[in-house]
């Protein structure tokens, strides 16, 4: 594990959240990520752990 990434509350769909997590995991140098939390509150937000 090399870190954790989060989306902002401005994400409008689950696919947008996934794309943001993927981009942020890539920037951290991760090979893959695992979504550990997701929330829908009018908008979508998510958290993922990043691994090498």
Q: Give the torsion sign (CA, 25, 49, 6, 3).
A: negative
Q: What is the CATH number of domain 3-51?
A: 3.30.1660.10
Position 46 scores a pLDDT of 94
Position 42 scores a pLDDT of 84
Alpha-carbon dihedral angle through residues 41, 43, 48, 50, given to the nearest 10 degrees: -160
pLDDT tens track, the chain, 52 positions: 999 999 987 788 899 999 999 999 999 999 999 999 999 888 899 999 999 9
Domain boundaries, the chain: 3-51
Position 43 scores a pLDDT of 87
Q: Tell me the pTM.
A: 0.88
């Amino acid at each position: 594990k090399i870190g954790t990434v989060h989306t902002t509350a401005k994400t409008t769909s689950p696919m947008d959240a996934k794309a943001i997590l993927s981009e942020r995991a890539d920037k951290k140098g991760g090979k893959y990520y695992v979504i550990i939390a997701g929330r829908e509150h009018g908008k979508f937000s998510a958290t993922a752990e990043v691994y090498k």
